[in-house]
Amino acid sequence: MSPRRKTEHEIRHHRAAAHDGVSIAYTLWRRPARELLVIAPGFWRVRLARENLFLASHFLRRGYDVAALDFRGHGDSSGGYGFGASEHHDFHAVLEELVGEGRMYERFAVLGLSMGGSIAAQSIAMRPDLPCRALAMISPPANLADLRPKPWKAGAIRQVRLRHAVRVPRLSARKIASTKPRAADAVAALTIPKLIITSEGDWLVDPSHGRTLAAASAPPIEHVHLDLPGALHADGLVKFVPLRLLRLLDRWFALHAPP
């Protein structure tokens, strides 16, 4: 039997101009495939973080092309982060380059982690013309005003690496002080399939946020709560329970947005 051939793919690093002039960095991994999966990272996380590279590699093997972006104030993107005040421009800028008539893809699906999931929901709700097939959100906050982080929880410190501490995102004081859209309002307007994943004892986004989002969501909606130790939040699930998380994501995407 001949050795198994390794799948070849391209890696392209690009920039997209948001409507308010901010330069947004994104990476596209191409097999090429017909279907695109977009990874939307959370606050303080960049597109080329290990967890996002792990997810990109996995979904490439599953048959998707994958794109991931740095939201403003993060990584190689310019501007300052506003916790949902302007980040929909970033999401739209990348999608407008990749998806639509005359572009590489006719449609897309999204995997959002933490704040990235909430921003993705808001962005898609604001642009119902975007051909999104499905949205999966891991540890998403329903409303920023209701966040009560618990960094003293056992296991929380394992999820914050030194490289995160030395790469502090750039913030926009004006945007931080502005009124933010609520992800709970966004999912109420979205009729695409939605998956919400929460974890018991999450140190940053309490699982009650997931219950709020699930209750507010227009159908179809699936809410999966993982009863796990370790106060795991978003990227922490990718790092510490990857097989359990990927089995769940693979099942759901195969049903609602297959490659």
Environment class of 233 (CB within 10 Å of its CB; exposed 0-12, middle 13-18, buried 19+): buried
Average pLDDT, the chain: 92
Q: How far apart are CA 113 and CA 141, in angstroms?
A: 10
Tokens of 236: 């922490």
Q: How many CB atoms lie within 10 A of CB 145?
A: 9
25 phi/psi in degrees, rounded to 5: -85, 135
pTM score, two decimals?
Answer: 0.94
Tokens linked to 163: 């490289």
Sign for the CA dihedral angle at 115, 118, 121, 124 comes to negative
Residue 163 pLDDT: 58
Segment 158-176, tens digit of pLDDT: 777 655 555 788 888 788 7
Among the residues of 144-197, which ranges form H helices? 162-165, 173-176, 183-189
Beta bridge partners of 28: 12, 67
Please list the ranges in the chain whose pLDDT falls under 50: 1-5
Q: Which pair of structure tokens corresponds to residue 111? A: 């995997």
Query: Residues 22-76: pLDDT tens digits?
Result: 999 999 999 999 999 999 999 999 999 999 999 999 999 999 999 999 999 999 9
**Assigned token pair, 110:** 């999204």
